[in-house]
Amino acid sequence: MSDNLAKASRHLSFLKARERWKPAEMAFWLLLIGVYFVFPSSLVFASQILITGLFALSLDMILGYAGIVTLGHAAFFGIGAYTAGLMAANGLHDPFLGLLGAGIAAGIAGYFCSFLLSRGGDLTRLMITLGIGLLLYEIANSATKYTGGVDGLQGVEIGKLFGLFSFDLYGKTAYIYVLCIAFLLFLFTRSMMHSPYGLALRSIRENQTRALAIGIPISACLTNIYTIAAVMAGIAGALLTQTTQFVGIDVLSFQRSADLLIILIIGGTATMYGGFIGAAVFMFVQDRLSNLNPQYWQFFLGILLIVMTLYLRSGILGGFSRLAHAIGNRRNKEQP
Binding site for other proteins (CB under 8 A): 63, 69, 71, 116, 119-124, 126-128, 130-132, 134-135, 138-139, 141-142, 254, 258, 261-262, 265, 295-296, 298-299, 301-306, 308-310, 313
In the bound complex, what is the minimum distance in angstroms from residue 2's beta carbon to other proteins? 44
Instruction: Between 43 and 57, name the residue whose CB sits nearer to other proteins.
Output: 57
For the chain, what percentages of helix, strand and coil (3-state, to nearest 5) are there?
80, 0, 20
Instruction: Between 128 and 247, name the residue whose CB sits nearer to other proteins.
Output: 128
**Based on the number of CB atoms within 10 Å of its own CB, is 259 exposed (0-12), middle (13-18) or buried (19 or more)?**
buried
Instruction: Between 153 and 261, name the residue whose CB sits nearer to other proteins.
Output: 261
Instruction: Between 13 and 255, name the residue whose CB sits nearer to other proteins.
Output: 255
Instruction: Between 100 and 134, name the residue whose CB sits nearer to other proteins.
Output: 134
Instruction: Between 100 and 212, name the residue whose CB sits nearer to other proteins.
Output: 212
Amino acid at the residue 256 = R
In the bound complex, what is the minimum distance in angstroms from residue 159's beta carbon to other proteins? 36
> Which stretch of DSSP H or E encloses residue 11?
helix 2-19
Residue 48 sits at the vertex; the CA angle it makes with 46 and 49, to the nearest 5 degrees, is 65
In the bound complex, what is the minimum distance in angstroms from residue 234's beta carbon to other proteins? 21
Integer angstrom CA distances of residue 45 from 37, 196, 208, 262: 14, 37, 41, 19
In the bound complex, what is the minimum distance in angstroms from residue 314's beta carbon to other proteins? 11
Amino acid at the residue 157 = E
Beta bridge partners of 16: none
Beta bridge partners of 161: 165
In the bound complex, what is the minimum distance in angstroms from residue 127's beta carbon to other proteins? 5
Instruction: Between 262 and 272, name the residue whose CB sits nearer to other proteins.
Output: 262
In the bound complex, what is the minimum distance in angstroms from residue 105's beta carbon to other proteins? 20
The interaxial angle of helices 23-38 and 43-60, nearest 10 deg, is 150
Q: What is the largest CA-CA distance in the chain?
A: 72
List, in sequence order, the alpha helices (H) in 245-273: 254-267
In the bound complex, what is the minimum distance in angstroms from residue 125's beta carbon to other proteins? 9
Question: Using CA atoms, how far apart are residues 232 and 106, in angstroms rounded to an integer?
Answer: 8
CB-CB neighbours of 177 under 10 Å:
22
Candidates 98, 264, 75; CA nearest to 181 is 98
